[in-house]
Structure 1
Amino acid sequence: MANNDTIKKTIIVALSLCIVCSVVVSTAAVLLKPMQIENKELDFKRNILMAAGLMEDGKTVDELFAQINTRMVDLNTGKFTDAVKAESYDQRKASKDPKRSTELSAQEDVAKIGRREDIAKVYLLKKDGVIEKVILPIKGYGLWSTLYGFIALESDFNTVVGLGFYEHGETPGLGGEVDNPKWKAYWVGKEVYANGDVAIDVVKGSAPAGDKHKVDGLSGATLTSVGVENLVKFWMGENGYANFLDNLKNGEA
C-alpha cells in the first residue's frame, strides 16, 4: 500500500490550503471594501454631528447630515474658496504635501503637527441663511498619538457646543478618557476667546466653578490633557481658524 504521509504530499497539501485561504481572504477584502469605506464615512459624519450636538433618535446619520453645509476654507486668507472640491479633498494627505501645506516653526507648532494644510474642510449648520453652528476639524499630538477630532462653536463663534475625537492611540483608562462623555461635557458652554485672544485652558484637576475658559484635566493623563489644550489653542489661533472666524463675524468670509 502506498504511503500517503510523504513529505512531498504534505507540502503540496499545505501549499494548496494556503492558496485557497489566500484567494478567500483576498476576495472577501475586495467585496467588503466598499462597505468598509461607507462605514468609515458614516462614522466620520456621526462624529461631526455628535460634536455639534445634532444626533437624534429615530433619524439616520445621512438624514441628519443633510442639514450640514460643507465648505472649503483657505486658512491663509481665512476665506471660503472653490479652489478644490470638498468631495475629493483629503485634508490629511494635503497636510503632508509641501505643495498644499505650510511648514510650522517650533514656536508656532504647539500642536506638534509639523505642517498645516493650506485648505481646510469646515461644516456649517445654517437656518434661514444664518450660521447657527460651525464645526471645525482639529488635530494634534497627545502622549502617544495624534488625536483627530472636531470642535463645534455657537453662532457667536466663541462658545463651545462640543468637542470630540474620532481617532487616537492614547492609553485606555487614562488619556483615552478623551472619549468619555462626562469629560467631553465639561467643554460645553466654555468660551474660546477673551479680549480677542485664545483663553481656553485644560487645567490639572478641577476647573474653578463658573470659569468660562477653564476645563477639567484628565485624571492621571497630564500629557494628554496638555496635548488637547495645545491643539485647541493652535487651531483656534492665528495659524488655524482665527482669521476665518473673524471674517465670519464680520460677514467677510
Structure 2
Amino acid sequence: MAINRDSNGYTFGFAIALVVVVGTILASLSLGLADIKKANAEKKKKMDILSAIGIESTRSTVDGIYDETVLNSFVVDATGNVIEGEKAFSVDVRNQYRNKTIEKADRKYPVFEAKNAEGKMITILPVVGAGLWGPIWGYIAIGEDNETIAGAAFDHKGETPGLGAEIKQSFFEDRWVGEKISVNNEFQPIQVVKDGSGVNEMKVDGITGGTITSVGVGEMMNRTMAVYVKYFNNKK
C-alpha cells in the first residue's frame, strides 16, 4: 500500500523521527565535547602543576612530561594525615573551596611529589582563594627541607589587567621563592605588604594597585600552608 505523504499521520511520524535523529546526533556531539573539555582541563591542570617548578609544557607534550616528573601523589586531611585510597589529581580544590556545605575539617588536600630539572625532590601543593572579582588559585613548590618555598605559580579568573591580574606574572611569583612556611616545625605566616618591606623575612611585596587581590593571595597561602605544615611535621 502506498504511503500517503500528505496525511497528518505521516507528517506527525516524520516529525517525531526527525526529532529523535537530531536529538541523538546532538547528544553524541555533547558527549564528545564534554570528553574533549575534560581532557583539556586535565592537561591544563598538569601544565599548572609543572609550572610551579619551572617546567614548561604544551598540551601536546604535557602528559609525557608530567608522568616523568610527578613521581607520587596522595591526599591528606585537615590534620595532615594521609587519606588512603584517595587520588590527588581527582580532588577539585576550587570546587571544594566554593562548596560551603563542606566543612573546613572535611576538606581534602592533594600532595604531588616531583623531581625538578636539577633532580631535587620537590613537593607541589595547590592553593585556592578569593581575589577582588573572583577566584584565585595556584600551585606552590616546597623544597627538600619541607619548609622553604622553591617556586610558585598563580592564576585567576577575572582580576583587573595591570592590577590584580599581575599575580600570575613571574615577578610576583618569584617574590615568594625563599620564604619559609615553617620555622622549628611551627607554621610561620607570610605577610603580604604594600610598604615595600617585602625584602624582609616572612614578608612579600604585594601588587601595586592590586591590594585586595594581593591580600587574597596571602590569605589563601597562609590558610592552606598551615595545613600542609601539619603534614610535613607528621612525616618526620
TM interval, short-chain normalised:
0.7 to 0.9
In the other structure, the counterpart of 1:242 is: 229
Report if the CA contact (8 A) 1:44-1:166 is conserved.
no
- Return the alpha-carbon distance in structure 2 between the equivalents of residues 97 and 208 of structure 1: 33
Report if the CA contact (8 A) 2:132-2:212 is conserved.
yes
Structure 1 runs not aligned, ≥5 long: 1-18, 103-114
Q: Secondary structure of the residue that 2:176 maps to in structure 1?
A: coil
In the other structure, the counterpart of 2:194 is: 204
1:68-104 per-residue CA deviation (whole Å, 9 max, x = no partner) reads 112111223x122214344654444555374xx42xx
1:156-194 per-residue CA deviation (whole Å, 9 max, x = no partner) reads 122111222344322222111111122112222222234
Q: 1:156 to 1:41 in 2, by over 3 A?
A: same
Report if the CA contact (8 A) 2:155-2:167 is conserved.
no
Give the alignment partner of residue 73 of structure 2, picking from 70, 89, 111: 70
TM-score (norm 2): 0.75
Give the number of aligned pairs: 208
* Residue 40 of structure 1, CA deviation: 0.9
* Residue 242 of structure 1, CA deviation: 2.0
Report if the CA contact (8 A) 1:91-1:117 is conserved.
no
Q: Secondary structure of the residue that 1:226 maps to in structure 2?
A: helix
Report if the CA contact (8 A) 2:187-2:229 is conserved.
no
In the other structure, the counterpart of 2:39 is: 38
Q: 1:126 to 1:82 in 2, by over 3 A?
A: farther
TM-score (norm 1): 0.70
RMSD of Structure 2 on Structure 1 (CA): 3.0
AA in 1 matched with 2:229: A
Give the alignment partner of residue 122 of structure 2, picking from 119, 128, 133: 133
- Return the alpha-carbon distance in structure 1 between the equivalents of residues 177 and 208 of structure 2: 19
- What pairs up with 1:1-253 in 2 under 5 angstroms? 28-55=29-56, 60-66=61-67, 67-68=69-70, 69-76=72-79, 78-86=80-88, 88-94=90-96, 96=99, 98=101, 101-102=102-103, 115=104, 117-125=106-114, 132-195=121-184, 196-209=186-199, 211-237=200-226, 240-248=227-235, 250=236
In the other structure, the counterpart of 2:15 is: none
Q: 1:41 to 1:79 in 2, by over 3 A?
A: same
Q: 1:229 to 1:33 in 2, by over 3 A?
A: same
Report if the CA contact (8 A) 2:91-2:108 is conserved.
no
Structure 1 or 2: larger helix share? Answer: 2
- Return the alpha-carbon distance in structure 2 between the equivalents of residues 182 and 206 of structure 1: 14
Structure 2 runs not aligned, ≥5 long: 1-18
Q: Secondary structure of the residue that 1:155 maps to in structure 2?
A: coil
* Residue 138 of structure 1, CA deviation: 0.9
Report if the CA contact (8 A) 1:160-1:191 is conserved.
yes
Q: Secondary structure of the residue that 1:172 maps to in structure 2?
A: coil
Q: 1:83 to 1:193 in 2, by over 3 A?
A: same
Report if the CA contact (8 A) 1:205-1:218 is conserved.
no
AA in 2 matched with 1:135: I
AA in 1 matched with 2:36: M
Q: 1:204 to 1:92 in 2, by over 3 A?
A: closer
Sequence identity of aligned pairs in percent?
32
* Residue 30 of structure 1, CA deviation: 3.7
